Amino acid sequence: MVKMNSVVQMITMQTTLWCCFLLTSLLANNAYAVNKVTASVDKNPILINESIVLTVIADDDVDRNALDTAPLLADFIVGRTSVSSQTNMVNFKTSRTTQWQIVLIARNTGNITIPALIIENKATSPISLNVLEQSEEAKESLQQDIFVTSELSSTEVYVQQLVTLTLKLHFSVELKSGSLTEPTLPNANIEKIGQDKQNDTIINGKRYRVIEQTYAITPQQSGDFTLDAPVFSGDIMTAAKRRSSFLSFAQTKPVSVRGEEMSLSVKASPASYPSQDPWLPSELLTLHQEWQTNNDTFKVGEPITRTITLTAAGLAKAQLPEIIMPTTKAMKIYPDQAQLHSNLTKERLVSQKVQNFALVPSHAGEFTLPEISITWFNTVTNKTQYATLAAQTITVEAGEASVMNQHTPTISAPETQLTPQVMPALPNAQTVSKESSLTWIFLALWLITACAWFMHIYYLNRRTDELPLVHNKQHNSHNHYLALLAACKSNNANQALSLILPWINQLLSSKGAEVSNIAQAESRVNDQNFATALNDLQQHLYGKSAVTGAPSWRGEALLSAIQVLNKKQQKSDSANEMFTLNP
């Protein structure tokens, strides 16, 4: 029992001592205040546009907003600022520090003073900083670990003329993270071209890793402009000051590097350029065409594919004009959606527009395709020029259906030659007796009756022979009609188009010669709904349906149109048949 009381007394005494220690520490910390504030830079001297890290340390745990960096803005670009706090306890003695790391870039060269900075009425000592020009001698004597270069393909351009800007980030240290600001220019379209490129290079004996970015800049207004300097901000890996024989630690340091500003002069378009044409300033602009086949002879009803390619140097894809193929009277033209491409070649952007046209002639003959011309301004010679595809004549031959219609012989009924029969001479009336006269009368009546009976049988046989032909004709037309309905309902465009002519020819067989192409079918039917649906079908087959992602053809409109036409024709045929069968 006595032993148990001793243990309890010992624990109580230890607890009391810890409480006294904690209370003393709290009182001491509350009484502690900032006594000293120091400032230092990571390097001096530096090159213009090169960043330094200003480190400010206060010997107490203070608010992160206690440091005012406004006095630095007069001579420096203030970049990223990071704040950290640290607490150490040695032999029951507690020390606390608060550290600010500020990335600075000098605005001018020469001797610049970093002013005193104040934290809780304690000030840092001013620092004299030597900022050198970006001369070759300075670069050799004080070589940078990281820097940015900029290059314009041209410093003087016309309005809407594309110019390329190449930014290169050089670094000889290990980057942990970083970003490079994009270029800005008032009243200009700026677009990044391609992916970043990486390579290695050696400058003054020092190896650098290079990251390259390229931008296409298209100014939309004339005048003199300045491209803002690009700025790189990131973190680099640095070796820690503390080292042991077993372990070494790496730390990161914030860094910012500013490139150079660049001037750009933009000239207005010359007054001599045709005002009705789109303004196209380019170093080179050409038109090229290709045909589906190598000859100039085609067939009626078969689509003809003509591919026109527009190539321009120094123009963005969005600036390429529309390629317009003039229509002709007897030929329908269905343009596909244009395909756009661009590629950077020898610091020049080359853009292309590729457009396919489907040409569908309505009849055989020779067709002249009009000239295609695009006006552009040569920025090398400063002259207006024209890219031209000359007028071209193509020959369209009749298709198989047209050839058969033209060469099918007409079968006419053979002429019937009547051979005169020699009738026997009648005896003299004076010698004919009364009985023989009656005999001839009865014979004549019998012959008349026999002829009437034969005529009736001939008429019935003729009617019987004609009826199966009419039935077969209606049966064939009905088969084509049903097949066409099925193609429309299943949205089968190719099958529907192949059944249009057979159905039309059977439907209108009693009204003239057969049709051999779609244009003739539209003309013979003369129905607006049918023509519209048929045009949509051809547009799908020969036009934009070739583009990936284009909507599939729907056969509802054509289905409705052919049903109406078939019903009208049936009514017309019924009226004609009633008139024929009831003379």
pLDDT tens series, the chain, 583 aa: 444 555 455 555 665 555 555 544 444 444 457 788 999 998 899 888 888 899 999 988 888 888 988 999 999 988 888 898 888 877 777 788 899 999 999 989 999 999 999 888 888 999 999 999 877 665 655 667 888 999 999 999 999 999 999 999 999 988 888 888 899 898 899 999 888 999 999 988 889 999 999 999 999 999 999 998 898 888 888 766 555 444 455 678 888 888 888 999 999 999 999 999 999 999 999 999 998 776 667 887 677 888 999 999 989 888 999 998 887 777 788 888 889 988 887 678 899 999 998 888 878 888 888 899 999 999 999 999 999 999 988 888 886 544 444 443 433 333 333 333 333 343 444 443 444 455 555 556 656 655 655 554 444 444 434 433 333 444 444 567 877 888 888 888 888 888 888 888 887 776 666 777 777 777 788 888 888 888 888 878 776 544 444 568 889 999 998 888 888 877 776 555 433 333 3
Cβ-proximal residues to 18 (8 Å cutoff; 6+ apart), any chain: none
Q: Write down the domain spans for the chain.
A: 31-133, 143-268, 282-400, 465-581
Q: Which pLDDT does position 139 carry in this prediction?
A: 61
The two structure tokens encoding residue 47: 């090159």
Q: Which pLDDT does position 80 carry in this prediction?
A: 84
Q: Please check whether the two domains, 143-268 and 282-400, share a CATH topology.
A: yes
Residue 562 to residues 110, 321, 324, 559, Cα–Cα distance (Å): 88, 40, 34, 5
Q: Which pLDDT does position 161 carry in this prediction?
A: 94
CATH for the stretch 143-268 = 2.60.40
Distance between CA atoms of residues 256 and 258, nearest Å: 7
Phi-psi region of 506 (alpha: psi -120 to 50; beta: other; left: phi over 0): alpha
* Upper half-sphere CA count for residue 260 (Cβ side, 13 Å): 13
Distance between CA atoms of residues 148 and 257, nearest Å: 7
Q: Which pLDDT does position 573 carry in this prediction?
A: 61
Whether this prediction's pTM lies above 0.95 is answered by no
Dihedral sign computed on CA atoms, order 328, 332, 338, 339: negative
Distance between CA atoms of residues 280 and 159, nearest Å: 10
Q: Which pLDDT does position 400 carry in this prediction?
A: 58
Distance between CA atoms of residues 171 and 166, nearest Å: 16
Phi-psi region of 526 (alpha: psi -120 to 50; beta: other; left: phi over 0): left
N-term to C-term CA, the chain: 144
Which residues make beta-bridge pairs with 223? 266
Residue type, 269: S
Domain covering 31-133, topology: Immunoglobulin-like (2.60.40)
Cβ burial 184-201 (10 Å sphere, 16+ → b, else e): ebeebeeeebeeeeeeee
Distance between CA atoms of residues 217 and 219, nearest Å: 6
Which residues make beta-bridge pairs with 197? 212
Distance between CA atoms of residues 516 and 399, nearest Å: 8
Q: Which of 335, 313, 315 is nearest to 324 (CA)?
A: 335
The two structure tokens encoding residue 327: 């229509």
Q: Which pLDDT does position 57 carry in this prediction?
A: 92
Its CATH architecture, for the domain 282-400, is Sandwich (2.60)
477-484 contact pairs (CB < 8 A, 24+): 477/503, 477/506, 477/507, 477/509, 480/506, 481/507, 481/562, 481/566, 484/562
Q: Is 414 exposed, middle or buried (0-12, 13-18, 19+ CB in 10 A)?
A: exposed
Q: Are 377 and 385 in contact (CB under 8 A)?
A: yes
Q: Where are the alpha helices (DSSP H) in 518-555?
A: 518-525, 528-542
The two structure tokens encoding residue 81: 């600022």
* Upper half-sphere CA count for residue 106 (Cβ side, 13 Å): 23
Q: Which of 244, 212, 254 is nearest to 51 (CA)?
A: 254
Residue 77 to residues 107, 108, 388, 431, Cα–Cα distance (Å): 7, 10, 54, 153
Cβ burial 104-119 (10 Å sphere, 16+ → b, else e): bbbeebeebebeebeb
> Which residues in 3-91 belong to E strands, given as ranges?
37-41, 46-47, 51-58, 76-90
Distance between CA atoms of residues 96 and 85, nearest Å: 7
Helix 528-542, helix 493-507: angle, nearest 10: 140
Q: DSSP letter for 10, please.
A: H
Omega of the bond prior to 45 within 30 degrees of 0, cis? yes
Q: DSSP letter for 63, please.
A: -
The number of angstroms, rounded, from the C-alpha of 57 to the middle of its chain's C-alpha atoms is 55
